[in-house]
Amino acid sequence: MVNTKTLKSSELIDLIADRIAHNADWRESFGDLLEYISTRLATGCGFIRLYNYISNRYLSPISVNNSQKNPIIDGIFDQLADERVPIALPAEYSDYLSGEMQYSAIGIPFVRNGEYLGGLVLAGGEGEGVLDGHFHDLLAFAPYLIPLFESAVLQEILLSNYLDAIETLAVALEAKDPFTRGHSNMVTAYAVAVARKMGLEAQRLQSIEIGAMMHDIGKIGVPDDILKKPGKLTEREFEIVKRHPVIGEEILRPMQHPLFNIPRSITRWHHERIDGNGYPDGLKGEQIPLEARICFVSDAYEAMTSDRSYRNSLPPEQAFDELKRNSGTQFDPDIVSVLCELLGPMVTKPNPETGDRVPEGAEVISEEGTKEED
């Protein structure tokens, strides 16, 4: 069979060079790459999987035209990892796509310095055996793709190491301040829910998840006697506590991975108010990254609705009122609306016997007029 579809080396190399130059997210890069190759070759479906050779496991696949889990595709990837040689599967062995028609499949492994980095599998097409003639073309292109695979795998290994380091820091902070861990978990749940409702895409949600978990990590640098003080802080002590966003950002600064840009900004700016009266930098309005504004509202809501050693919690409805009362000065009104809309249906009713909505002794209003959680 004569193939009329071909890969254009110049286009492919331009695409790869552009992605490397712009340090683009590897999932997006590989998605575009797969789309390009599959379209040029008119294949039925295509898959790329990266292999973390430190943890010895594949990362979740990128696919075009078929995202279904398929045991034969899995088998091809397993064989690529084990044998590290290209695979050309004739059509008569690969009737897995339709169950009736038969298609050929190609598997290409990517290896650098003896480490298996992942594989590319193409299957199907506009007729039986359509891929057979592309096997050698793809083999010729494979070396161009190795830097992209290597860069992506290294990014993933780095990310995995950073997440381990962060877990260690979180455990250390928990030991120092048992309250923070539970608080950070709840802030994270609220922030991710709000961000999802606002339509932020998956990678930003993942960054928000990391950032919200880490937002108070700088408290590791605040002395215990201040952090655990049961009563009201003196002005000097509060000034020390106010350093925690800057300390937190410094802790995360060495973690140079695209997923950590947002967590760094959340950590530094989760106490910035939209009227410019927050800290540490006094940013205003949209100068404050959206993710940090989301965490600020989530942080305040969680703080108001949780018991502390020195005060009781507010009921959710009253916390909503506080957020709304301070919309436009302290908090971003759009974010407050989304959080109230999301959590409103979940709030518990006031005690039917006493009618109490605010526990006695609740002191959540700061001198500024609202709760400021540190």
Known catalytic membership, residue 219: yes
Q: Which stretch binds Fe ion (CB under 5 A): 80-88, 110-118, 216-224, 234-242?
A: 216-224
Residues 23, 29, 32, 36: is their CA dihedral positive or negative? positive
For the chain, the C-alpha Rg in angstroms (whole number) is 26
Nearer to Fe ion, 132 or 216 (CB): 216
Q: Which of residues 7-26 bind Fe ion (CB under 5 A)?
A: none
State the nearest-atom distance from the C-beta of 340 to Fe ion, in Å. 21
Phi/psi at 45 (nearest 5 deg)? -155, 165
State the nearest-atom distance from the C-beta of 295 to Fe ion, in Å. 9
Q: Which stretch binds Fe ion (CB under 5 A): 7-15, 213-221, 329-337, 348-356?
A: 213-221
Strands 62-64 and 45-52: antiparallel
Catalytic residue among 69, 176, 219, 349: 219
Residue 216 contacts Fe ion per CB under 5 A: yes
Number of residues that bind Fe ion (CB under 5 A): 1
Torsion of CA 318, 323, 324, 327, to 10 degrees: 160
Distance CA 115, CA 81 (A): 10
Who contacts 122 (Cβ-Cβ below 8 Å, separation ≥6)? Answer: 37, 38, 41, 43, 45, 46, 47, 105, 106, 131, 134, 138
Nearer to Fe ion, 156 or 272 (CB): 272
Residue 272 contacts Fe ion per CB under 5 A: no
Residues 308, 310, 311, 312: is their CA dihedral positive or negative? positive
Q: Which stretch binds Fe ion (CB under 5 A): 21-29, 138-146, 208-216, 282-290?
A: 208-216
The site map against Fe ion for 158-187 (x = CB under 5 A) is ------------------------------
DSSP 144: H
**Helix (H/G/I), strand (E/B), else coil: 210:** helix
State the nearest-atom distance from the C-beta of 177 to Fe ion, in Å. 11
Nearer to Fe ion, 74 or 250 (CB): 250
Nearer to Fe ion, 137 or 216 (CB): 216
Strands 45-52 and 87-89: unpaired
Query: How far, CA to CA in Å, does 266 sit from each of 261, 292, 298, 340?
Result: 9, 4, 12, 21
Nearer to Fe ion, 5 or 242 (CB): 242
Q: Which stretch binds Fe ion (CB under 5 A): 71-79, 119-127, 210-218, 279-287?
A: 210-218
Residue closest to Fe ion (Cβ): 216
Nearer to Fe ion, 49 or 371 (CB): 371
Nearer to Fe ion, 157 or 247 (CB): 247
Distance CA 227, CA 186 (A): 19
- With beta carbons less than 8 A apart as the criterion, state whether 326 and 370 touch: yes
Q: Which stretch binds Fe ion (CB under 5 A): 90-98, 128-136, 214-222, 285-293?
A: 214-222
Three-class DSSP labels, 32-76: HHHHHHHHHHCCCEEEEEEEECCCCEECCCEEECCCCCCHHHHHH
Nearest Cα to Cα of residue 312 among 371, 355, 238 = 371
Catalytic residue list: 219
Residues that bind Fe ion (CB under 5 A): 216
